Amino acid sequence: MTDHVLAEKSNGVLTLTLNRPEKKNALTPAMYQALADGIDGAEHDREVRCVLIQAEGDMFTAGNDLGDFAAASEGDPATRDRRAKGNPLLAALARAKTPLVAAVNGRAVGVGTTMLLHCDLVYLSDDALLTTPFVNLALVPEAASSLTLPARIGHARAFAMFVLGEAVSAQQAVDWGIANAAVPRAELRARARKAAEAVAARPASAVAITKMLMRDPQGLAARMAEEGVHFSAQLQTPDAKEAFAAFAQKRAPDFSKVS
């Protein structure tokens, strides 16, 4: 584990805590790998029957570190080669057999929202806000969310989230079936922990089979691969370069100049 992802085991639950609050828990390659290792490792650890994902600070995660996207857009060889291998967290989510529970405090941006669609139980602080602003950055959805989000909330709502960047409040997320409950922030960790321990107390074989029957790991992995091809291509476009330049310069992008 990296210092930016803390791991702790107790009562059958592996808790993975995002621990980069000074950067709004923006995810780095090392953090993706640590989360993937935790999720994959849970399958082979007899002490773990559920994985709980949570975060320190006032924000669940700002999503991918935009510096990494900008480097890929500018053709940095090391970044390009790493991205060509795929995101280890996404692959781990697709094949996960151990139940996943999320406790989302505050905003969840990009992959911070799309990863929730792979979790079996999701609890939000009542001030949580979910956003998937991929198109705003001239990018496309990832984590198989182009498949899972419309299936969960319908095409029109998903399109508005992806293309218009519309934010979804905690209560909307519950009403739309993205999350199980929205609770006061002070109660969030206890609520999610109670649920994770309840899952861990159930017969593991029945839980695993139930999760397997409810998902299509091969289909999810295939969609992730398809999205990944488009995502990588989009990173190299003039639109993406304009989006990242505008972000760095704290101005609105002008895609009319480049499209």
Joined together, the tokens standing for residue 151 give 């299936």
pLDDT tens, residue by residue, 114-163: 999 999 999 999 999 999 999 999 999 999 999 999 999 999 999 999 99
pLDDT tens, residue by residue, 178-205: 999 999 999 999 999 999 999 999 999 9
Q: Which domains does the chain have, with CATH numbers?
A: 5-186+201-210 (3.90.226.10)
Provide the H-helix boundaries in the chain: 29-42, 66-73, 77-84, 88-95, 111-114, 145-153, 155-163, 170-176, 185-201, 204-213, 217-235, 238-249
- Predicted pLDDT at 191: 98
